[in-house]
């Protein structure tokens, strides 16, 4: 039986005092690629924030990677988040330091101590996103697409079991978006579960996968028949 690594049952999700999603039932299996779609303000980001406990679960039941969201202790939250990789629309790179220093900061904050291991892991994730020479660059010297690739690399630093991506193509042109989606699907093919909030429906058409939609305070599964592109050929362009 495939492992259930995210599960919500009859969950109500609030943004501050506003109910954004009610009676949510959701199961995500290990190795899945799942799109969360919906209009701005429909609850996509709040749902992702619930998974890494930035928004506490208001009611119902929830587990992520075996952690009970109803009873998780404060000291356990960092350990949950270390097993997640989070990609933001606005990159959230530290602008006053190089890519290398950004990555060192993340690794040291999550318990890495050995200099050689830190450097090897940074080299690995930069190679993964095909930017092996980016370590010495400041974020503002990179294009939007390059910054988002660095965001993906940063999310992969601790070998996460789940990638949570919040509108990762929202500020990018269509060609760059295609390349990034191809990369994320390649990462998924290596066994990493990906949950991606988006309203980029053209990218969903080009890279079809399971889809849940937020609308009218509910989360429902939708089906979108389409043929996937050849991810390898896109990455090589």
Q: Please indicate whether residue 94 or residue 28 has the higher confidence score (pLDDT).
A: 28
Tell me what the mean pLDDT of segment 109-136 comes to: 94
Q: What percentage of the chain exceeds 90 in pLDDT?
A: 79
Domain layout of the chain by residue ranges: 1-83+160-237, 91-159
Which helix (H) or strand (E) covers residue 23, if one does?
Answer: strand 18-29
Q: Which residues contact residue 165 at a Cβ distance below 8 angstroms, ignoring those fewer than 6 apart? A: 86, 87, 155, 184, 194, 195, 196, 197, 198
Q: pLDDT value at position 80?
A: 94
CA distances from 102 to 61, 80, 124, 160, 219 (A): 35, 21, 15, 18, 35
Q: Residue 89 pLDDT more than 50?
A: yes
Q: pLDDT value at position 110?
A: 87
Q: pLDDT value at position 93?
A: 87
- How far is 81 from 128, CA to CA, in rounded Å? 21
Name the DSSP class of 54. S
Q: pLDDT value at position 230?
A: 53
Which of 68-72, 92-96, 215-219 comes out lowest in average pLDDT?
A: 92-96
Label residue 87 by pLDDT band (50, 70, 90): very high
Which helix (H) or strand (E) covers residue 101, if one does?
Answer: helix 99-109
Of 30, 15, 40, the C-alpha closest to 195 is 30
Q: Residue 226 pLDDT more than 50?
A: no
Q: Residue 233 pLDDT more than 60?
A: no
- How far is 13 from 203, CA to CA, in rounded Å? 27
Q: pLDDT value at position 227?
A: 46
Q: Residue 103 pLDDT more than 70?
A: yes
Q: Residue 122 pLDDT more than 50?
A: yes
Paired sense of beta strands 162-166 and 4-15, if any: unpaired
The per-residue b/e assignment along 27-56, b for 16 or more CB within 10 angstroms, e otherwise, is ebeebbbbbbbbeeebbbbbbbbbbbbebe
Tell me what the mean pLDDT of segment 178-205 comes to: 94
CA distances from 109 to 104, 118, 207 (A): 8, 12, 34
pLDDT, mean over the chain:
91
Q: Residue 237 pLDDT more than 50?
A: no
User: For the domain 1-83+160-237, what is the CATH code?
Assistant: 3.40.50.300
pTM of the model: 0.89
Of 223, 189, 185, the C-alpha closest to 207 is 185
Tell me what the mean pLDDT of segment 143-166 comes to: 94
């Amino acid at each position: 039986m495939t492992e259930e690594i995210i599960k919500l049952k009859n969950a109500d999700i609030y943004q501050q005092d506003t109910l954004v999603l009610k009676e949510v039932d959701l199961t995500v299996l290990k190795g899945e690629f799942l799109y969360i779609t919906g209009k701005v303000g429909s609850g996509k980001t709040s749902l992702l924030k619930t998974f890494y406990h930035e928004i506490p679960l208001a009611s119902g039941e929830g587990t992520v990677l075996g952690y009970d969201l109803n009873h998780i202790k404060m000291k356990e939250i960092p350990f949950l988040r270390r097993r997640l990789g989070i990609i933001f629309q606005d990159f959230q790179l530290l602008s006053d330091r190089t890519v290398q220093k950004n990555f060192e900061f993340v690794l040291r904050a999550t318990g890495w101590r050995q200099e050689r291991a830190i450097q090897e892991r940074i080299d690995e994730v930069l190679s993964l996103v095909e930017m092996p020479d980016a370590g010495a660059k400041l974020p503002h010297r990179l294009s939007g697409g390059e910054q988002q690739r660095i965001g993906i690399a940063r999310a992969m630093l601790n070998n996460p079991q789940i990638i949570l991506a919040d509108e990762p193509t929202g500020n990018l042109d269509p060609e760059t978006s295609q390349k990034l989606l191809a990369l994320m699907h390649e990462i998924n093919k290596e066994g990493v579960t990906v949950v991606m909030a988006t309203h980029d429906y053209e990218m969903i058409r080009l890279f079809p996968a399971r889809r849940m939609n937020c609308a009218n305070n509910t989360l429902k599964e939708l089906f979108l028949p389409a043929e996937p592109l050849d991810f390898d050929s896109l990455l090589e362009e």
